[in-house]
Amino acid sequence: MSSPAAPVADSLSFTPSPRLASLDALRGFDMFWIAGGTTIFRALTADTENEFLQALRTQFQHVEWEGFRFYDLIFPLFLFMIGVAIPYSLTKRLGRGDSRLRIYGHILLRVAILIFFGMMINGNLLSFSPSEFHLSYSVLQMLALGYLVASVLWLNLNVSWQVVATLALLIGYWALQTFVPVPGYGAGVYQPHAMFGDWLNEQILGSWQTRWRSGWILGILPHGATAMLGVLAGQVLRSSWRESRKVSLLLALGVVCLAAGWLWSYQFPIIKKRWTSTFALWAGGWSYLLLAVFYQVIDVWRCRRWAFPFVVIGCNSIFVYMSWGLCSGAFRAVADRFLGGLKQYTGSWYDGISWTGAFVVFWLLLWYLHRNKTFLRV
């Protein structure tokens, strides 16, 4: 094991890198589907009888249990990109002389803030009644814990050991879910409430987790693995290799993850609600491929104008998530002030038009922040 201050002499050499426009654009593309995109598409296709659109619409709904759809990629892709950013952000802090203690303090503060925000969104924190507080399976909470695991591993291991640690997280999670018997069900039953992670939650958290019974505690392992897949991608992009080699390696890693996830899924199903190891690999594979495409087009070919709307969103991603989650109704109310007169002419299409207007109002706010270089980060 070696410190990243002398990073990975066994496999990569690093050079100072500018901010990746492709990472901001991909993050914005991902957030677009959370902040309006999915709502707009669902509203516009709500009454469609077109078979193609109906099939496409199912891609914007989570799988009930086993399987994978486009909408299931949004959360792990964001966590993957958090991992990509870790080598950039923490190298910068080490380079300016921050102590390890100070860096760990900042990491823990970010984790605490994200968990707090997650409870604001889904944990009933705003009821101001402690008896009604509960842990939720919030996107922000899982992002925070995945970020914590990946940051600690990056700070303490070189690339070779990071790969070993990522595999250990995936295999360890699989082994616990497969071989530890659950009272009343036995071992290796991959169904709701029958998995070891579910039982562990019940024993430790009990009723405090209320309806969010999602293997919260044990799920930290595969969430950390997803972030670590991103960390490995970030180190590829920071390397001194030729751009073509970086793209090729990202594509290869994507194919390897997809193949491994698919083959393993015959024994350990792809289940988002329990973030199985196969789900982490399958989502990670698509994340590698998307990053490779965005990097090739935006940072290698320098085709950037088309991506500007996404960059505006991606530069304030946490603000986007919180603002849309708390204030989307307010953005729609503003849009209705301007568009409400169209309702009499557009009928069932109006809902989609109104939500499109709400997103435009929100995007203009984000554009104003971007134009003034105001980036609200945790």
Which pLDDT tens digit goes with each residue over 203-249? 887 666 555 556 678 999 999 999 999 999 999 999 999 999 999 99
Q: Confirm whether 31 is domain-assigned.
A: yes
Residues 177-200: pLDDT tens digits? 999 999 999 999 999 889 999 888
The answer to whether 20 touches 314, Cβ cutoff 8 Å, is: no
pLDDT at 7: 43
Structure tokens that stand for 246 in this block: 């970086």
Does residue 15 sit within a domain? no
Give CA–CA dist 369/30, Å, rounded. 19
Q: Is residue 207 part of a domain?
A: yes
> Is 119 inside a domain boundary?
yes
List Cβ neighbours of 103 (8 Å cut-off, separation of 6 or more): 90, 93, 94, 155
Report whether 218 contacts 176 (CB < 8 A). yes
Asked if the structure places residue 1 within a domain, the reply is no
Whether 5 maps to a domain, the answer reads no
Q: Count the domains in the chain.
A: 1
Sign, Cα dihedral of 153, 159, 164, 169: positive
Say what the pLDDT of residue 9 is.
34
| Residue pointed to by tokens 């849309």 | 324
State how far the Cα of 97 lies from the Cα of 217, in Å rounded to an integer. 34
Predicted structure pTM score: 0.91
User: 186 - beta bridge partners?
Assistant: 182
* Residue range of the domain that includes 175: 21-371
Residue 2 lies in a domain: no
Cβ atoms of 146 and 227 within 8 Å: the answer is yes
Burial tier of 59 (Cβ tally within 10 Å: 0-12, 13-18, 19+): middle
Identify the pLDDT of residue 111.
Answer: 93
> What residue has token string 């994978």?
68
Q: Which residues are CB-neighbours of 185 under 8 A, at least 6 positions away?
A: 191, 193, 194
Tens digits of pLDDT across the chain (378 residues): 444 443 433 445 444 556 689 999 999 999 999 988 999 998 888 887 888 888 898 998 999 999 999 999 999 999 999 999 999 999 999 999 999 999 999 999 999 999 888 888 777 777 777 777 766 667 888 899 999 999 999 999 999 999 999 999 999 999 999 999 999 999 999 998 899 998 888 888 766 655 555 667 899 999 999 999 999 999 999 999 999 999 999 999 999 999 999 999 999 999 999 999 999 999 999 999 999 999 999 999 999 999 999 999 999 998 999 899 889 999 999 999 999 999 999 988 999 999 999 999 999 999 999 999 988 877
* Share of the chain residues as helix, strand and coil, in percent rounded to the nearest 5: 70, 0, 25
Distance CA 230, CA 158 (A): 15
pLDDT of residue 213: 57
Q: Is 233 exposed, middle or buried (0-12, 13-18, 19+ CB in 10 A)?
A: buried
* Phi, psi of 186, rounded to the nearest 5 degrees: 90, -165
In a domain, 266, yes or no: yes
